[in-house]
Every structure is written in C-alpha cells, then in structure tokens.
C-alpha cells in the first residue's frame, strides 16, 4: 500500500510546526523556540550517528583495499621474479672466443 502525504513522518512534523506557529502567543513563543531547538538537536544527533556509521564503513573498506593491494603487489613481485628466473642467462661456455694477434 502506498503511503499518503499525511503518513510520511517528515511531512507530518512540518505540518505540526506550522500549526504551532499559528497558535503561538507572546507567552508560548518561548515554548515554541524550545520545542524547535529540541527537534533540531535530535535531528542533528541522528545525522551525526549516520555520519559516524558511514565513516566506520569507509575506514573498513579502505583497510580491505589496502590488504588487497598488498597481496596483489606481492603476487606481481613474485611473478616478475619467476619470469626473470625463466630467462636463460648466457654463460661463458656459450660464447665463442678466438685469440687475436697484433
């Protein structure tokens, strides 16, 4: 079932804020300010929690990437050593020499 506009929590809070503002009087404005500040504080606290969770997740992924990079670098180094060992180095016996007289 599709939620209507009145069933969404964020929009319900906005509608409530407008009704609070229209009903406020000189005495009630302090309560309104207190209410609005409390709501903002709660919203910012939730945002901080979300950002900390994302930060933790990003750090974990960075660590995983670092480990994978180290593993691949080691494999690449081992592969280069194997390929260098596979190349036959010329020995002295393979060179033909002759003497020259001056």
DSSP letter (8 states) at residue 92: G
* CB 24 within 8 Å of CB 32: yes
Is residue 89 pLDDT above 70, yes or no? no
Nearest to 20 by CA among 36, 41, 44: 36
Average pLDDT over the chain, rounded to an integer = 78
Query: What is this structure's pTM?
Result: 0.47
Residue 35 to residue 33: CA distance in whole angstroms:
5
- Sign of the torsion formed by the C-alpha atoms of 53, 55, 57 and 59: negative
Q: What average pLDDT does the segment 49-64 reach?
A: 97
Residue 102 to residue 99: CA distance in whole angstroms:
10
Q: How confident is the model at residue 8 (pLDDT cuts 50, 70, 90)?
A: low
Is residue 20 pLDDT above 80, yes or no? no
User: How much is the pLDDT for 6?
Assistant: 53
Residue 32 to residue 22: CA distance in whole angstroms:
11
Q: How confident is the model at residue 87 (pLDDT cuts 50, 70, 90)?
A: low
Q: How confident is the model at residue 19 (pLDDT cuts 50, 70, 90)?
A: low
């Amino acid at each position: 079932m599709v939620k209507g506009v009145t069933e969404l929590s964020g929009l319900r809070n906005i509608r409530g804020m407008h009704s609070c503002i229209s009903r406020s009087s000189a005495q009630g404005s302090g309560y309104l300010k207190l209410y609005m500040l409390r709501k903002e504080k709660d919203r910012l606290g939730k945002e901080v929690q979300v950002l900390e969770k994302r930060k933790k997740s990003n750090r974990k992924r960075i660590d995983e990437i670092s480990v994978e990079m180290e593993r691949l670098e080691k494999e690449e180094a081992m592969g280069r050593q194997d390929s260098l060992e596979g190349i036959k180095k010329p020995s002295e016996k393979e060179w033909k020499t002759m003497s020259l007289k001056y």
